[in-house]
Structure 1
Amino acid sequence: MLKTKLILMLGGLLLGISVQAATWNIVYPRPMSEQDDRTRYPVELLTLALEHTGVNFKLSASDRIMLQGKAINQLKSSREINVLWSMTDNQREEDLLPIRIPIYKGLIGLRLPLMKPGGNSDFSPVKDLESLLHFKPISGRDWPDTKILQANGFDVVTAEDYEELFVALEHKRGDFLPRSVVEIWHEIGLYQSQHSFDVDANLALYYPTATYFFVNRKNVVLARLIESGLEKIIANGKFDELFLFEHQAMLDNANLPQRQILRLNNPILPPLTPLDRNELWYQIK
């Protein structure tokens, strides 16, 4: 009996060592280009979280560029990638396994109007949501944002992919492009050589939503690993430290206290969204 116990203990110890020694190869979708800065913060956050788990890991981009719809299908089929980050909705949480910690602390739902000078985008008469409904927003065809805007009464002009959004705005197919406060300033710089865009200084839209890391539904172990790392950096303050380092200047640029913030309903917000955990959300005044 004692010999058996010793063998089991030794086997468990060796198994633990082998798990620690193994390298997790974690692959995320390659961005549109080297100038696509939207990937940097999620990769930094994921790296920081994994470093706090104590496992060996290699984090790398996929061999080819993937648009969001393609990346979701590939992850669902467990091909090419094993993690991505995306705004959540009920369908995505059904198809994939979410780690329900909003990596942008909800700021992906705080939208500023990007406009084309000379277009039909004078928002000065706008005093409420009803008066804003006279303007047509531009949004991605398969994005959760589009469903949210439509549910709130907007006549949405849709674009097939990310870059087509800015082409549509340039050609005034819609009146404004609502972009997240954590994206819009980089996009202004990225496209200023091709297009002339302005950010409206007085208006913002807000709807509750979250961007999560997602994995394949069968990859529960990886999901738990990422979640444990994220919870550790939330507890020790490293999450907020990185978040503010990356986004404080963007929030300052937005000048939120001087903006009228129109709040939209989000009927596709999944019921398990952790709205009761205040530490996970940036508090919009």
Structure 2
Amino acid sequence: MRWVAALLLMLAALPAAAAPPLVVTIPYMEREAPHRNYADQLLALALKLSSDRYGPFRIVQQRDETVIRRQLLELGKGSLSVAVAMPTPEWLDGALPVRVPIMRGLASFRYFLGRRSEAPLYDSIKTVDDLRALTVGQGPGWSTAKILEDNGFKVVYGGAHPTLIPMLGSGRFQLLMRSAYEVEPELRAQRASYPDLMIVDNFAVFTYMPMYFFVAKGQPLLAERLEYGLKKAYANGQLDLLFNRSFGDSLKLLRNRQTRFLSVPNTNIDPGFFERDRPYLLAPVVTLETEARRKR
């Protein structure tokens, strides 16, 4: 059997074939959004930083647009590798969350677009109970809609995102809730068509809302890889550089001392999410969530 041993030695001496790159399929969304662009760049960074342990990769974007609800279905089918979402029971059941909050909790600050003609009404809002008297627009499938409904708010549903500003402009609802990174870009984009549009600056809602990468259940190694890469990006400062470059203007909103943050609990998640995410969160998120829990 010496020839067998000799053959094994010869095979061991041959150069190992290069591993094929991991193909990571991401969704395409037609509407530009700062958090989507940031997430795509962060995903590429996490994959690059994890190459030392997990090997090469290639990112492929879908050709056809997929809205957020459809993305969960496609993760389940395996035609999509990674999507970005806020945790809800449906997402937590249907996909694998990568438990590193990619937005540092920035989505927890929910601002409102309103109409200048209703500014006196907005000025009268001082408490959560005051805000419950107004109607708030939401899109179908938005995770914020359940939070609002569970906390006793009057929610009015529209269709896809482009239908919501016209509905606000025509008075179908009194406020449209948007994130800290969406509200100013949307105002700039719509102000010419809707000159009565304004950002309400005397109040906003705070509810702890992490945002994660979600991975297809059939790709647990990808979830492990992304967690490894994201933690490296946090540790070496590259995530902070990308985050501040992407959301510097949005962070300025948080420093507006005129804005009173009205805290409501996020009924989509349990308290353990905040405790686990705390090391990665912005200081104002930790402060407001800690205060809110003390009062509940």
Q: TM-score, normalised by structure 2?
A: 0.85
After TM superposition, the structure 1 stretch with the greater mean CA deviation from structure 2, 51-60 or 139-148, is 51-60
1:10 CA drift (Å): 4.1
- Which position in structure 2 is the counterpart of 1:173? 172
Figure out how many residues of one structure are paired with residues of the other and give that number: 278
1:237 CA drift (Å): 1.5
- Structure whose alpha-carbon radius of gyration is higher: 2
CA distance, structure 1, for counterparts of residue 230 and residue 95 of structure 2: 19
8 Å CA contact 1:121, 1:135 repeated in 2: no
- Tell me which amino acid in the other structure corresponds to 2:64: R
1:211 CA drift (Å): 1.0
- Tell me which amino acid in the other structure corresponds to 2:265: N
- Which position in structure 1 is the counterpart of 2:218? 218
CA distance, structure 1, for counterparts of residue 204 and residue 151 of structure 2: 15
1:157 CA drift (Å): 0.6
1:32 CA drift (Å): 2.0
- Which position in structure 1 is the counterpart of 2:148? 149
1:124 CA drift (Å): 1.3
- Which position in structure 1 is the counterpart of 2:45? 48
Mapping of residues 58-73 of structure 1, within 5 Å: 58-73=58-73
Is the counterpart of residue 86 in structure 1 residue 101 in structure 2? no
- Which position in structure 2 is the counterpart of 1:39? 36
1:120 CA drift (Å): 7.3
1:177 CA drift (Å): 0.9
Is the counterpart of residue 77 in structure 1 residue 77 in structure 2? yes
CA distance, structure 1, for counterparts of residue 188 and residue 57 of structure 2: 33
- Which position in structure 2 is the counterpart of 1:129? 128
1:270 CA drift (Å): 4.3
8 Å CA contact 1:83, 1:216 repeated in 2: yes
Please list every run of 5 or more consecutive structure 1 residues that lacks an aligned counterpart in the other structure.
none
- Tell me which amino acid in the other structure corresponds to 1:124: D
CA distance, structure 2, for counterparts of residue 214 and residue 121 of structure 1: 42
**CA deviation digits over 1:217-241, x for unaligned, max 9?**
1110111111111011111121122
Is the counterpart of residue 114 in structure 1 residue 113 in structure 2? yes
- CA separation of 1:248 and 1:92: change in aligned 2, threshold 3 A: same
- Tell me which amino acid in the other structure corresponds to 1:259: T
Please list every run of 5 or more consecutive structure 2 residues that lacks an aligned counterpart in the other structure.
288-296
**CA deviation digits over 1:172-196, x for unaligned, max 9?**
2111111110221222222233333
- SS of equivalent to 1:208: coil
- CA separation of 1:227 and 1:276: change in aligned 2, threshold 3 A: closer
8 Å CA contact 2:135, 2:154 repeated in 1: yes
Mapping of residues 256-271 of structure 1, within 5 Å: 256-270=256-270
- CA separation of 1:68 and 1:223: change in aligned 2, threshold 3 A: same
CA distance, structure 2, for counterparts of residue 187 and residue 67 of structure 1: 18
**CA deviation digits over 1:74-109, x for unaligned, max 9?**
112112x21110111122110111111111111112
- CA separation of 1:155 and 1:193: change in aligned 2, threshold 3 A: same
- CA separation of 1:121 and 1:239: change in aligned 2, threshold 3 A: farther
Q: TM-score, normalised by structure 1?
A: 0.88
